[in-house]
Structure 1
Amino acid sequence: MEQRIIHACGHEQGHYLTGFDSQQERKAKWLKTTTCRDCFVAEKRAEEAAAAAFSSAAISHLDLPPLAGTDRQISWASTIRTKRLAALTNPDSDANCYACLQVTDAKWWIDHRDLTDVDLMAAAAQATDIPGVTGVTA
């Protein structure tokens, strides 16, 4: 049964609640303490934008080469590269991300987005044939 709920943000939204009456009441009570879907999405987008701005500021001193790939790949890979390089170049990190700076293939960044920092640098060194950086340590 659909119920109109006024959320904590003040917006009203329809929710389809199922179950016994007591379950529906409990769910409706909980929903009143949360933000509506639109406010939730807007909040998450603002958090992502703030994180992206922070990452961009952290690597603004780097001269990054343009990425190669399709427009969609470049857009996604740019976000990944910015976030990962910001993590690698923070003051608390001893990582040398020179090899990562040389990788310009957008698909490579997308395919390697889930690697640890050490594995990412090793894969970048292998992809760019940089001597002196040895294999992956797990």
Structure 2
Amino acid sequence: MTHDLASRSADQRAGYARWLAARQCTDCWRAAHQEDVVSTKEWLAQKRAEEEAAATHWAAQFDMPPLENPESILGWGARSRHQLVTRAYTELVTEGTWDEADWAELEEQIRLVTRAGWWVDQRDAVGADLPELLDAASDRDRPTENPFR
């Protein structure tokens, strides 16, 4: 593509020409960007499917109750719960000072929070903060005291 550098002052032309030379033309950039969007969407769909499978397996293994909310958020909530609880276990038990008895008590509290939106809201939390976050959860987040066991 040809660019008119006449509108630039003489001392700015060389730098601008060097900058342009390092860039793709608009048509080339668009073509490459569209390919990236498709490959990114495919990668993201595959990653989400893997995370969902891991979360489903984890929930079954540790007897976690199903989450409640609109269907559109359930997968996101399940993935968020799995990731946060896994981080919490690593930080509190594996790397921390908690023993399995401490964790078992927290696990019972985890089972009581069944609102998917709560888990999505906490998705970026530090794992060690999970006990405090669970204490702050409202009755709306814990619709029942029965941990489905």
Structure 2 length-normalised TM: 0.51
**CA pair 128-101 structure 1, distance change in 2 beyond 3 A:** farther
Match of 1:111 among 121, 133, 143: 121
Q: What is the 5 A alignment of 1:45-124?
A: 45-89=45-89, 92=94, 94=98, 96=103, 97-98=106-107, 99-124=109-134
Which runs of structure 1 show a deviation greater than 4 angstroms over 4 or more consecutive aligned residues?
Answer: none
| Aligned-residue offset at 1:124 | 0.8
Unpaired segments ≥5 residues, structure 2: 2-18, 140-149
| Aligned-residue offset at 1:104 | 1.3
CA RMSD of aligned residues (A): 3.9
* Higher relative contact order, chain-length normalized (CA < 8 Å, sep 6+): 2
| Structure with greater helix percent | 2
**CA pair 74-55 structure 1, distance change in 2 beyond 3 A:** closer
Unpaired segments ≥5 residues, structure 1: 2-18, 130-138
1:68 & 1:107 partners in 2: Cα distance? 8
- Percentage of matched positions with identical amino acids: 20
| Structure with greater strand percent | 1
Mark the structure with the bigger radius of gyration: 2
Structure 1 length-normalised TM: 0.54
Aligned residue for 2:129, secondary structure, equals: helix
